[in-house]
Amino acid sequence: MDIMKILDEMEELVDSGSRIPLVGKVLIDAEGLLECMDRIRASLPEEIKQAKFLNMEREKVMSEAQRRADRILEEATNQAKKLISEEQVLRQAQIEAEELLEQSRKVSNEIKQGARLYANDVLHQLELNLEKALYTIKKGREELQTQQQQQQLQQQRTGT
């Protein structure tokens, strides 16, 4: 039985009792009051059991909620660590890519510079060879002209 209902009955016993004027006292049915008290005693262990059960259920729910909160927090921490780790890997990869790109630029510039120097040397050698060939051609023509002039002079002297 519900203790609150029994307490309401006890209150009604007091309200319906005979009042003694001037002293503020009330005469009540002692047998009815004792019966209510017995019923409270009888239902009190049941109420305490229910309260204990409710308290245990509350503890179980709180414990489960705490476990879930801990698990969620652990997952969030792990996810954060993973993201930080991935970000560090990405940052390191970007640094290495930039270094590789810079090295490639340096090698490319060195190759271009070497190619320019080689081309300049080849052109210089070609220029020297052409100058020698031109000199040889000039000398050959001069010789031919000199021989032709000598031949013409001889022909003129001989009259032919």
The pLDDT of residue 2 is 80
pLDDT > 90: percent of the chain: 51
- For residue 27, what are the β-bridge partners? 18
- Closest-CA residue to 37 (of 62, 66, 3): 3
With tokens 């991935």, the residue in question is 86
Q: What value does the mean pLDDT of the chain take?
A: 89
pLDDT per residue as tens digits for the range 18-41: 888 888 888 888 898 899 888 888
CA distance 25 to 16: 12
C-beta separation of 10 from 30 below 8 A: no
**Whole-number pLDDT of residue 155:** 87
Contacts of residue 1, Cβ cutoff 8 Å, sequence gap at least 6? 39, 42, 43
Q: Are 53 and 60 in contact (CB under 8 A)?
A: no
Phi and psi, residue 26, nearest 5°: -130, 135
118-136 pLDDT, tens digit each? 999 999 999 999 999 999 9
Q: Is the confidence at residue 159, as pLDDT, over 80?
A: no
How far apart, in whole angstroms, are the C-alpha atoms of residue 109 and residue 114? 8
Q: Which two tokens stand for residue 135?
A: 């000199």
Distance, CA of 14 to CA of 16 (rounded, Å):
6
Cβ–Cβ < 8 Å for 50, 61: no
